């Protein structure tokens, strides 16, 4: 059977967003039936630039399109693998113009929905925008989703096949388990872009509630984003300096040590493009109990009452209630954390991911024949 030539178009780290990390994971795989080529997008240098218009991004887009066209003439690819990112206006315009310019070059198209929300944008779009979206997105051969709870985007664009491939992360926990200990003052960890819709201000509100109840805790916030100054102002106005620490962006060993030193992981997101919450999976890998929102694909990771708790979005009082329960009950923290790691090992290891990716490429072989 002839190996297919597949061009992967997408950003790889830096910055270290979930989509970029997973595109890198795809490229690192070894596959029997395809040869992967890559054109890297570099539209955002930092997390705070994501989804925002910058003039350099126009130049970068032109470079990306030219490179794709040049490589397509050179290698005559069998398929395009592309991650749509239509959660805001500028990302949508970029995707539409790029796909209309290049899609005709590829016999087969695979969309990987690491970012969500395309169906919502389409359903509320004007007639002229819907027409452009149909040209760019409709009728791909395969739509890949990261959760069984999130297949609306693929159905909306009439994908011929829909496949679920869960995100993954390397199991580094054994390398950092020596750093694990139960802190005298429980440490809550938040990891993510510092955007308002990641729920960071809801978490800070819950910290205010916990402190007013006399609960002793520490919150560590890891990440960067456009709300950092507002977060610092909130901490100062509410006198939370003794309870909240901003760690900035951390990667590799520094990042994993913070996971190992934490007692609870909190992720109260309602981010527009959220699908899976890769950081939640990383916390499960480190045996941390989770408090998260019932948003998009998160209920597939967090089993309410088993490896953590789910609360509605924008609910700081409920968030504080669940955090307090875990802060005051170390036995429950250990029990839930162990259950989360068991779930990770059973369903979300790299072995599971690459098996599903091989299934994807086998399916692509079948639709290409």
* 207-253 tens-digit pLDDT: 999 999 999 999 999 999 999 999 999 999 999 999 999 999 999 99
The per-residue pLDDT for 232 is 97
Whole-number Å distance between alpha carbons of 228 and 154: 34
* Tens digit of each residue's pLDDT (9 = 90 or more) over 249-274: 999 999 999 999 999 999 999 999 89
The per-residue pLDDT for 16 is 79
Residue indicated by tokens 């592309």: 82
* Tens digit of each residue's pLDDT (9 = 90 or more) over 289-331: 999 999 999 999 999 999 999 999 999 999 999 999 999 999 9
pTM above 0.95, yes or no: no
Q: Which fold has domain 4-168+349-368?
A: Rossmann fold (3.40.50)
The per-residue pLDDT for 2 is 79
Mean pLDDT for 113-122 is 91
Q: Does position 57 have pLDDT exceeding 80, yes or no?
A: no
Whole-number Å distance between alpha carbons of 7 and 14: 20
Q: Does position 365 have pLDDT exceeding 90, yes or no?
A: no
Q: Which fold has domain 173-347?
A: Rossmann fold (3.40.50)
Pairing of strands 187-191, 264-267: parallel
Matching fold, domains 4-168+349-368 and 173-347: yes
Whole-number Å distance between alpha carbons of 334 and 332: 5
Domain boundaries, the chain: 4-168+349-368, 173-347
* Tens digit of each residue's pLDDT (9 = 90 or more) over 73-99: 999 999 999 999 866 788 899 999 999
């Amino acid at each position: 059977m002839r190996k297919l030539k597949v061009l992967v178009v997408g950003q790889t780290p830096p910055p270290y967003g979930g989509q970029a990390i997973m595109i890198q994971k795809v490229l690192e795989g070894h596959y029997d039936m395809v040869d992967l080529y890559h054109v890297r997008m570099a539209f955002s240098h930092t997390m705070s630039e994501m989804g925002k218009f910058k003039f350099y991004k126009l130049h970068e887009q032109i470079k990306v399109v030219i490179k794709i066209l040049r490589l397509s003439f050179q290698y005559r690819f069998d398929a395009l693998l592309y991650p749509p990112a239509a959660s805001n206006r500028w990302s949508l315009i970029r995707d539409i113009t790029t796909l209309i310019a290049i899609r005709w070059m590829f016999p087969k198209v695979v969309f990987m929905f690491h970012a969500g929300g395309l169906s919502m944008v389409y359903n509320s779009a004007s007639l002229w925008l819907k027409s452009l979206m149909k040209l760019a997105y409709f009728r791909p051969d395969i739509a890949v989703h990261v959760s069984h709870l999130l297949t609306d985007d693929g159905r909306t664009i009439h994908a011929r096949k829909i496949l679920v491939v869960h995100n993954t992360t390397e199991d580094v926990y054994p390398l950092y388990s020596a750093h694990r200990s139960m802190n005298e003052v429980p440490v809550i960890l938040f990891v993510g872009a510092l955007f308002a819709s990641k729920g960071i201000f809801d978490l800070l509100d819950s910290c205010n509630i916990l402190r007013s109840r006399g609960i002793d805790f520490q919150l560590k916030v890891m990440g960067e984003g456009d709300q950092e100054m507002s977060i610092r102002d909130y901490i100062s106005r509410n006198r939370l300096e003794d309870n909240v620490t901003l760690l900035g962006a951390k990667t590799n060993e520094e990042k994993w040590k913070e996971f190992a030193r934490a007692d609870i992981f909190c992720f109260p997101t309602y981010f527009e493009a959220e699908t899976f919450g890769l950081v939640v999976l990383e916390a499960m890998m480190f045996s941390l109990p989770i408090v998260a929102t019932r948003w998009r694909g998160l209920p597939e990771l967090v089993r309410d009452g088993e490896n953590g708790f789910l609360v509605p979005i924008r609910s700081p009082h409920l968030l504080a209630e669940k955090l307090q329960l875990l802060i005051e009950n170390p036995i429950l923290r250990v029990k839930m954390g162990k259950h989360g790691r068991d779930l990770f090992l059973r369903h979300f290891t790299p072995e599971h991911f690459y098996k599903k990716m091989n299934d994807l490429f086998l399916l692509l072989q079948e639709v290409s024949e």
